[in-house]
Structure formats: structure tokens, C-alpha cells
Amino acid sequence: MSTTAFTPSPRPRATAQPTSPAPRPTRQVRVAVIQPCLEVGDVEGNLIHLEDLIRDAVRAHQPQMVILPESASSPTVHGKRSGEAARPIDGAPLQLLRHLSRELDVVIGGGFLAQRGGDAHASYAITEPDGGIHLSNHNGSTFWGRHHSRGTTGRPRPSALASFDGAPVGVACGWEWASTDVARGLRHRVQVVVGGTCWPSYPLNWSGPLDRWMTREHHRQIQQARELPRQVARLLGVPVVLAAHVGTASFPTPFAKGLSWDTELLGESQIVDRDGTILARLSGADGEGHAAATITLEPPAPLDPLTDVEWIPSMSATTRSLRGALRARGALGYHAERLLHRHDWQDVPGADLADEINPGEPGQQASATSGPRESRPR
């Protein structure tokens, strides 16, 4: 699990000032979040739907940056359909972001399950109009996806942060938003945090005492999802832009074959100012859509203290236990199936891109290749 940071490389705009070598202390950026309602496993259909949403958001808000959730090619839940959503790192999900970024002259961020080399990763890409691409893996971001991607062990932790052009941008996905360690890693190091969540709630189709228990946990999840962006913004002292999935999902219950887990994806896409003020919001009840706001990038000024607890919100015992059990089962399952060559994506020859791809001509993009990572073309 990791968080990364990047800064959009300078690019010519009609209103842009001449590039100065000195970092600009503040910058106004118009940002849009997209809250999609997608079908599990239908990657190609979902990408067409996302294209429509992105175009619509750009028409409506004229943003400089559009943020999609993690797993934007297919919601990540339990079951085989989610695992089949993996596409080559240079496949259709990245191409969608790449092409729209150039065509619409907008920075776009979005996550997808990607085959990178000999593994599947929960990747998040930020593409720029000049062809620059920033890739990062967020394998521990969701316990549901642990079965489908190569994971990390232990608590979420940030990777080294790249920073240039004076306005570093951190990327966080799923559980990383809730991790104190991740917040510590990003604190004082970024001027905005972007990313998303894919947060299926507890089952809403179970009956009897289980129904009451699950419903209570469900409402707790909604509350946490609503509060978390504000908490993160105040802890880091920077604006946050979080895009979330919405809609319903139905998948087999782990450890209980035959029992269906019918639930909702929580929504709560938000753009929050550094002091915790919600600038734009789409709740689960709002359904699919997009929202936009103007944020100010400036040096971070944390307002709340960081504590030593593992999670920023207070996680219930149910959630903690379930997370632990599912991650362990997922890790075992992923590696066992990889060894047996049973993952759907293993049928396709693997290649990878460098994490940082330099701007370039549209016809001369870096290709996914294989070989030593350090010598991968950028």
C-alpha cells in the first residue's frame, strides 16, 4: 500500500503566466470529482460510460483537473468478476485517461486494476495534457481487492514522495484515506491530496439479528465516509479531492459460499478545503454525477494533531476483524492462484510502464515493455 505525490508539469494555457523557476506560493485550481455508478466486471462498458461522464463534467465545470475513484474500470468487490477486470497497464483504462487528457486539455486521475509485469496491481494514474503520466500502485487500499492484486503487508504506508514545480500532489486510495500512517507520510509534503474510494458497505439483504447488526454497521460506514475527507483535510492542512463509487453491488459472501452479499457503494465524493469546509459534495443518495469547486494550492498548514492510533476514524470491531480476515484470505488466494496460473490476466503476456512517464508527442508514447525496471523507457 502506498501513496504517491506528483505535481502537474507546467503546460501552456491561455491564462498561464510565464513559468518562473521559483515555486508559486498559491495557485487556484478548478477541480471536478466524478461519482460513477458502474457494473462489476464490465470494463469496456464502464469505460464508455466514464468517457461520457468526463466529457459532461468538463463541459459543465471547465475544470483543470478531473478526479475519478480508484477501481474506475470496475468496482472492486469479492468474487471472480472483479479479478477479470485486470487489463494491461497500457490497456483501455489508461488509454481513456490519456486521450481525454490531451483532447480536453485537463489533468485526469483515475484508478484501475492493471497487469503490470507478472502481477496485477490496483493502480492509479494521473494523466496530463502534455502526455506526462504518473502511475502508482495502491494494493492495500481495499481488503476486497486483495484477492485480485499483489498486496503489501502490514499497515498502510506512504512511499517516497516526488515533488516538483512547487505544488506536490498526494494520491490516496481506499483505506489509505483512513490511515494515520499515510497521513503522517503526506503531512507537510503535499499541497493537495486526490484519489478515491470504492467502498462497498455491509450486506443489506441478510435477515434476523444479522440484519440489525449489518444495518448498524452500514450506517456507521456512511457516517465515516461523510466525515473522513474533512478529517484528512484538517490533519494535513491541505485541500482534498475524493471521488467515490455509488450504486449497488451483489457478490458472493467470503467464507460462506452460496450466501449473497447485496449492498451499496457508499458514495460521498467530496472536495474539501484545507480547513475542512466542504466545497462540493455528492452523497450516496445523490447517485451518479459530478461536482466541482475551486481549491487553492498553497503550503500546507495542518489544523489538527496526528495521534498514534492506526485509523483516523474509529473503526468498529466488526470492520477491523473483517478486514484482517479478508486480507489474509485474499493474500493467500492471490498468491496460490498466481502460482497455479489461474488468474484471468495471466493468460495475457505481461509488460509494464515506468511509474513516471515524461511528456511527449501523442504519437510517440512510451510503450509497456518488459525487462529491468530501472531501464524501462519513460
Partner 1 sequence: MDERCDVVIVGSRLAGAAAAAHLARAGRQVVVLDRSHFPSNQLSTHLLFPSGIHELERMGALEGILASDPVKSPWLSLQTEDSELSERWRPSGPIDYCMCVPRTIQDLELVRAARAAGADVRERHRLVKVLWRGGRACGVRYAGPDGGEREIHANLVIGADGRRSSVAAEVGSFRPYRSSRNGRGLVFRYGQDPLVGTRAGETIYQFWEGDSLGFLFPSAPRGKTLMLFMGAAEEAARAKADPEGYWAEKMAAHPRMAARAEGMTELTPLASTGATSAYFRASSGPGWALIGDAGHFKDPVIGQGQRDAMWSGRVLAETADPVLDNPAELDRALRKWEQRRDRECLPSYHFGNIETRVEPVAPAFAELIRRAPANPTPDLGDLFGRARSMPQVLSLPRLSAGLLAAMAHPRGERPEGLTWKHTKRDLRVHLGVRKELLSRRFRSHVLVADSEHPNAEPPPYRGSGTKTAARPQPAPRSATADAVNGSDGDSAAATSPVSSDAAISETPTTTTSKATRRESKAISKEVPV
Residues lying near partner 1 in the complex (CB under 8 A) = 43-45, 47-48, 50-51, 87-88, 90-99, 347-351, 361-372, 375-377
Kindly state the helix (H) or strand (E) to which residue 252 belongs, with its residue range.
Answer: strand 246-253
Q: Tell me the closest approach of the beta carbon of residue 115 to partner 1, in angstroms.
A: 10
Q: Tell me the closest approach of the beta carbon of residue 128 to partner 1, in angstroms.
A: 14
Cell numbers 471472480 correspond to: 80
Name the residue nearer to partner 1 (CB basis): 131 or 239. 131
Q: Tell me the closest approach of the beta carbon of residue 347 to partner 1, in angstroms.
A: 7
CA 227, CA 213: separation in Å to the nearest integer? Answer: 22
Q: Tell me the closest approach of the beta carbon of residue 263 to partner 1, in angstroms.
A: 26
Q: Tell me the closest approach of the beta carbon of residue 334 to partner 1, in angstroms.
A: 20
CA separation, residue 203 to residues 62, 69, 212, 218 (Å): 38, 22, 11, 8
Name the residue nearer to partner 1 (CB basis): 89 or 192. 89
Name the residue nearer to partner 1 (CB basis): 277 or 367. 367
CA 89, CA 223: separation in Å to the nearest integer? Answer: 34
Report whether 377 contacts 366 (CB < 8 A): yes
Name the residue nearer to partner 1 (CB basis): 299 or 371. 371
Name the residue nearer to partner 1 (CB basis): 108 or 280. 108
Closest CA to 62 of 292, 312, 244: 292
Please say whether the dihedral angle defined by the alpha carbons of residues 61, 62, 65 and 70, taken in this order, is positive or negative. Answer: positive
CA 306, CA 371: separation in Å to the nearest integer? Answer: 41
CA 301, CA 26: separation in Å to the nearest integer? Answer: 13
